[in-house]
A and B are shown apart, each in its own frame.
Chain A
Amino acid sequence: MAARKKKKTPARKTAALKAKAPSPVFSSGDVVFRLNVKTEGLEPILGAAYLMTDVSYVRLDGAASRTIEVRLEPKAGPEALPPKVLAKRFADELSTQRLRWAIARQNVLVREFIAEQAVLLASGRLEQAPAPAQDGAADALSEEQRAEIEKLISEVEDEIRTMNEKKAASDPKNIKASWEEKQEAGKTRLGEGGA
Chain B
Amino acid sequence: MSRLTSWTRSDPASAGHLAAFNFRRVEPGWYLLTNDWGKFLMLDEGDFRRLMTGPINSADALYPRLEAGGFLRERLDFKALASSYVKKNSFHWFNGPSLHMIVVTLRCNQKCQYCHSSVVDPSRTDTDMDLETARRTVDFIFSTPNPTICIEFQGGEPLLNWPVVKFITRYAQAKARASKRKLIVALVCNFTLMTEDKLDFLLEHHVSLCTSLDGPAELHDKNRPFLGGGLAQAKVVGWLEKIQRRCAGEPGKKHYLPGALMTTTRFSLPYAREIVDLYVSLGMDQIFVRPLSPIGYAKRVWKDIGYGTEEFVSFYEKALDYILELNISGRSKIMERMALVLLTKILKGEDPGFMDLRSPAGAVLGCLAYNYNGQIFVSDEGRMVDHQGDPMFLVGDVAGNSWSEVVDHPTTKACVAASTLDNQPMCWQCAYKPYCGAEPVFHYETQKSVWGQMPSSAWCRSHMGQFDVIFRKLRDPKARAVFEEWMERDQCRWQENEEIAAGEFMASGSVPA
Contacts and interface: CB of A to CB of B under 8 A. Distances in A.
Do A's and B's CB atoms come within 8 Å in the complex?
yes
Interface of A: 9, 17-18, 21, 47-48, 50-54, 89, 91-93, 95-96, 99-100, 102-104, 106-108, 110-111, 113-115, 117-118, 120-123, 126-129, 176, 178-180
A178 B16 contact: yes
A53 B455 contact: yes
Nearest to B18: A103
B448 to A, nearest CB: 15
B20 A129 contact: no
B455 A54 contact: yes
Contacts, number: 120
Contacts of B453: 53
Contacts of A93: 1-2, 4, 6
Contacts of A21: 9
A48 B6 CA distance: 11
B85 interface: yes
B475 interface: no
B82 A95 contact: no
B86 A54 contact: no
B5 to A, nearest CB: 8
B92 interface: yes
B76 interface: yes
B12 interface: yes
B15 A91 contact: no
Contacts of A103: 15, 18, 20-21
Given A99-B15, A103-B18, A114 B455 contact: no
A89 B1 contact: yes
A96 B6 contact: yes
A143 B22 CA distance: 45
Given A50-B455, A107-B73, A91 B9 contact: yes
- 6 cross-chain pairs, A with B, having the tightest CB-CB distances, nearest first: A107-B20, A117-B82, A54-B455, A51-B2, A129-B79, A92-B6
Main secondary structure of the interface of B (DSSP, over half): loop
Interface in B19-44: 19-22, 36-37
A86 to B, nearest CB: 11
Interface string B464-504: 00000000000000000000000000000000000000000
B193 interface: no
A96 to B, nearest CB: 4
Contact of A95 (B8, B74, B83): B8
Contacts of A91: 9
Contact of A178 (B3, B73, B455): B73
B-side interface size class: 35 or more
B427 to A, nearest CB: 12
Nearest to B460: A54
Nearest to A101: B429
A120 to B, nearest CB: 8
Interface in B58-85: 73-74, 76-83, 85
Nearest to B80: A129
Contacts of B37: 114
A92 B2 CA distance: 8
A118 B8 contact: no
Contacts of A96: 2, 4-7
A106 B81 CA distance: 18
A96 B8 CA distance: 7
8 contacts: A47-B425, A51-B2, A53-B453, A54-B455, A110-B73, A115-B85, A129-B77, A179-B16
Given A95-B7, A111-B36, A117 B20 contact: no
Contacts of B82: 114, 117-118, 120-121, 126, 129
Contact of A17 (B3, B14, B22, B92): B14
A138 B429 CA distance: 41
Contacts of A100: 22, 429
Contacts of B328: none
Contacts of B3: 51, 54
Interface string B444-462: 0000000001011000000
Contacts of A117: 78-79, 82
Contacts of B78: 113-114, 117
In this complex, which of B5, B12, B79 has the most chain A Cβ atoms within 10 angstroms of its Cβ? B79
Interface in B143-180: none
Nearest to B8: A92
A110 B70 CA distance: 11
